[in-house]
Structure 1
Amino acid sequence: MFSATQDAPAYLNDQIIKTTNTADFTQAMLATGLPYDRTSPEFAYTYKIIEQYNLTARGIRRFGAATLDMAFVAAGRLDAFFEYMLKPWDTAAGKILITQAGGRILTDNKLIKVDNGKLEWPATTTF
């Protein structure tokens, strides 16, 4: 079970977890999610971002839960996670895991990027 508190490290069961050291985006393993409504503008926008990152990153995976993706970044199983138009409840639990494991959260209030604190994200085209 993943756990973290404000004044302590992040844990997976009884082991302290840390993010990866990957800085080079071409070596990064990412995760993402997609909106459930495939006809929405959000789906189309997200898919375009996925297409761009897929050309440069080592790979992209989809596990289906934002908090799980964030936990995997915190535990060093992934280098980064991104998703468009998440709600606060989608990321609340993952935020403390990320920060306590050494990662960071970047957002423009629409696109959230979670990484190991070292990753150099490429610019994306504005759609």
Structure 2
Amino acid sequence: MRGTRKPVAFTWQSTDSVSGDITATFGTGRVFKGTYFQITRDTRVDRLEPLWHGWGNRRRSSWRYWAADPGPKFVKTYSGRVLANLHSDNGEHMRCRFTLISPQRGMAGGGEGRCQLSETDQEISAEFPRQS
């Protein structure tokens, strides 16, 4: 993860073709775990509720259409991307949005994007490699 003093490694496990579990491990040993969703035109917003856990109204507004009731503009804005909400053992949250390199391959196609830490609002660049 660029923008941090230590690198961050992302690992993930799909539960279906558009969602799964994701883990981010910082070089310092700090670990965040959570759920990711690949947004498609068929995404039902009510299925995305885990994305808002741990984020108050103040922090939701800093990402476009990131509200408790996001609606169709949210799906249109983030279609073809992966969104994730992770948390650490101490209760801090990190949300990520990735642009997929090969959307048809999902997470296996690799991607890059931004993550934001809840305690500091710091945004950092992030990437995960394509799997062969």
Q: TM-score, normalised on structure 2?
A: 0.30
